[in-house]
């Protein structure tokens, strides 16, 4: 992997950009393995797996690399020693690689002391994140040099081989089953519950894995959508999601997909044991009747099998949305006229809802099912939906009277210009 980082320019640029480094055409990336540094008593037995050096003009940026494969997880004590080693040797960052997932490279799966990262940045790449970057570059033909592209193909082949031990997030923690059973028994979820925090932490890993799965299947970057306040404050995000889980027994996630009609929203409902993927679009403003606005959407889904697909209608004024099966609306779109008699339909939402029943609380089957459902929704509905765009303004037809006025005005202007010239 380090060899590709150094010799495949596009790959190096893509990976280093995720840790805040720009590697343009003038940049040079050098990678070393099994590096040795000056050490003290605490770090004398440590040897990081690699060192990345990025040179841009006179500026130099360096990062230690530590990788784990298979089920091996990063060791907190070892990680703190590597951060100490980096600080002692003027290395700017430590990058870890494993099968563990994080919402973003600047959020680490292993907690470390604030002092440890006071002068050295800490980043994390999952092996699936690396594989996804490779796939995206190969799918988009972005690698200009054929030899470098061949090297990248070999890296993809290596990472996808069973012996490499690269795998996605495949199981919720034991706390998931316990929490689902607790909700089924009618118990309330406290936002301070250790079980709830463990479940949300695991969900962040799965949400990241789902974004990578979608990226590889679609061929474009898919990123978790976060409110601005949560982008640089993981604790605020955690607090918000714990409160949502406590109040409504749901876990919510959204992904941004380039050029899609809207964000892909996902809801896990612990009370009903259902999962739902959906996408919202603004109703066309050039149509007055609600049925006309609905038919605009139905035409886009005309050739899609309706099983498990629903349309949610969002109206002006108070009250929640109304929902109908896609099959029902195809047969009788006028049924929505009974929903809100004095309200206007402003947003249409297509959703795929599935009750997982007993599989919902099963740690592995839950992951298997949602990793099928999310791409299925995008293929069946998400990629077919187009956002409404207002038509370009047209030159209006001019009446005979208006034409005469325009003509008279033109003649008067011409006469005035002639008089001025004289």
Amino acid 317: pLDDT: 87
Residues 256 and 108 in one domain: no
For the chain, helix (H) and strand (E) counts, in that order, are: 13, 12
Confidence at 422, pLDDT banded by 50, 70, 90: low
CATH code (residue 250):
3.30.930
Confidence at 91, pLDDT banded by 50, 70, 90: very high
Specify which of 99-103, 133-137, 324-328 reaches the highest per-range mean pLDDT.
324-328
Residue 394: inside a domain, yes or no? no
Give the least confident one: 35-39, 168-172, 223-227, 306-310.
35-39
Residues 188 and 214 in one domain: yes
Amino acid 399: pLDDT: 66
Q: Residue 261 and residue 386: Cα distance in Å, rounded? A: 5
Helix (H) or strand (E) holding 406: helix 400-421
Amino acid 38: pLDDT: 72
Alpha helices in 260-399 (DSSP H): 290-300, 326-331, 363-377
Residue 98: inside a domain, yes or no? yes
Residues 254 and 133 in one domain: no
Please say which residue of 136, 164, 192 terminates a domain: 164
Domain limits for position 139: 2-164
Q: Residue 131 and residue 142: Cα distance in Å, rounded? A: 15
- Residue 101 in this model has a pLDDT that exceeds 80: yes
Amino acid 104: pLDDT: 85
What are the C-alpha distances in Å from 259 to residues 209, 218, 221, 264, 382? Answer: 21, 11, 11, 12, 11
Residue 235: inside a domain, yes or no? yes
Residue 414: inside a domain, yes or no? no
Q: Is 258 exposed, middle or buried (0-12, 13-18, 19+ CB in 10 A)?
A: exposed
Residues 330 and 225 in one domain: yes
Helix (H) or strand (E) holding 33: strand 28-33
Q: Give me the DSSP letters along 80-137.
A: HHHHHHHHHTT--EEEEEES---SSTTS-SS---TGGGSSSEEEEEEHHHHHHHHHHH
Domain count, the chain: 2
Percent of the chain with pLDDT over 90: 65
Please say which residue of 99, 132, 164 terminates a domain: 164
Q: Residue 249 and residue 269: Cα distance in Å, rounded? A: 6
Residues 280 and 179 in one domain: yes
Q: Residue 29 and residue 90: Cα distance in Å, rounded? A: 18
**Better-scored residue on pLDDT, 338 or 196:** 196
Q: What is the pLDDT of residues 35-70, one digit of tens each?
A: 888 765 565 667 899 999 999 988 999 999 999 998
Q: Report angle CA 87, 92, 95 to the nearest 5 degrees.
A: 100
Residues listed for the chain: 422
C-beta separation of 88 from 116 below 8 A: no
- Residue 402 in this model has a pLDDT that exceeds 70: no
Residue 407: inside a domain, yes or no? no
Give the least confident one: 29-43, 117-131, 179-193.
29-43
274-282 β-sheet, strand order: 222-224, 250-257, 264-269, 274-282, 345-355, 309-315, 322-325
Residues 106 and 195 in one domain: no
Residue 50: inside a domain, yes or no? yes
Residue 140: inside a domain, yes or no? yes
At residue 349, the 3 state secondary structure works out as strand
Please say which residue of 111, 143, 164 terminates a domain: 164
Residue 184: inside a domain, yes or no? yes
CATH code (residue 67):
3.40.1350
Residues 226 and 273 in one domain: yes
Q: What is the pLDDT of residues 18-32, one digit of tens each?
A: 999 988 878 899 999
Residues 153 and 178 in one domain: no
Residues 12 and 116 in one domain: yes
- Residue 414 in this model has a pLDDT that exceeds 80: no
Is the whole-model pTM more than 0.95? no
Residues 32 and 111 in one domain: yes
Residues 227 and 112 in one domain: no
Residues 61 and 181 in one domain: no
Q: Residue 293 and residue 390: Cα distance in Å, rounded? A: 13
- Residue 419 in this model has a pLDDT that exceeds 90: no
Amino acid 258: pLDDT: 92
Neighbouring residues of 15: CB distance < 8 A, sequence distance ≥ 6: 5, 125, 130, 133
């Amino acid at each position: 992997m380090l060899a590709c980082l150094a010799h495949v320019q596009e790959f190096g640029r893509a990976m280093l950009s995720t840790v805040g480094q720009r590697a343009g055409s003038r940049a040079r990336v050098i990678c070393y393995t099994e590096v040795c540094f000056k050490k003290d008593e605490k770090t004398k037995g440590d040897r990081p797996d690699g060192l990345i050096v990025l040179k841009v003009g006179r500026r130099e940026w360096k990062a230690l690399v530590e990788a784990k494969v298979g089920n091996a997880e990063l060791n907190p004590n070892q990680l703190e020693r590597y951060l100490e080693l980096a600080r002692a040797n003027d290395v700017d960052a430590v990058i870890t690689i494993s099968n563990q997932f994080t919402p973003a490279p600047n959020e680490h799966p292993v907690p470390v002391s604030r002092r440890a990262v006071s002068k050295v940045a800490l980043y994390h790449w999952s092996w699936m994140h690396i594989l996804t970057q490779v796939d995206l570059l190969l799918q988009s033909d972005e690698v200009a040099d054929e030899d470098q592209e061949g090297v990248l193909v070999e890296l993809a082949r290596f990472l996808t081989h069973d012996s490499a031990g690269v795998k996605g997030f495949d199981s919720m923690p034991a706390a998931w089953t316990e929490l689902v059973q607790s909700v089924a028994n009618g118990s309330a979820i406290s936002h301070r519950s250790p079980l709830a925090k463990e479940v949300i932490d695991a969900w962040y890993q799965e949400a990241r894995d789902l974004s990578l799965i979608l990226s590889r299947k679609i061929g474009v970057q898919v990123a978790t959508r976060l409110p601005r306040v949560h982008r640089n404050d993981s604790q605020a995000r955690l607090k918000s999601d714990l409160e949502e889980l406590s109040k409504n027994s749901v876990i919510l996630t959204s992904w941004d997909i380039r050029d899609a009609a809207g964000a892909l929203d996902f809801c896990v409902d612990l009370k009903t044991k259902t999962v739902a993927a959906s996408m919202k679009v603004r109703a066309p403003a050039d149509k007055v009747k609600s049925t006309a606005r609905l038919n605009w959407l139905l035409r886009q889904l005309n050739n899609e099998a309706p099983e498990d697909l629903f349309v949610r209608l969002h109206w002006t004024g108070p009250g929640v949305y109304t929902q109908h099966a896609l099959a029902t609306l195809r047969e009788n779109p006028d049924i929505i006229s009974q929903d809100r008699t004095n309200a206007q339909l402003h947003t249409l939402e297509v959703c795929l809802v599935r009750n997982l029943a007993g599989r919902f609380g099963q740690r592995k089957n839950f992951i298997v099912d949602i990793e099928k459902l999310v791409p299925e929704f995008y293929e069946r509905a998400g990629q077919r939906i187009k956002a409404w765009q207002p038509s370009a303004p047209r030159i209006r037809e001019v009446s005979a009277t208006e034409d005469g006025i325009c003509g008279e005005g033109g003649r008067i202007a011409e006469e005035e210009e002639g008089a001025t010239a004289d």
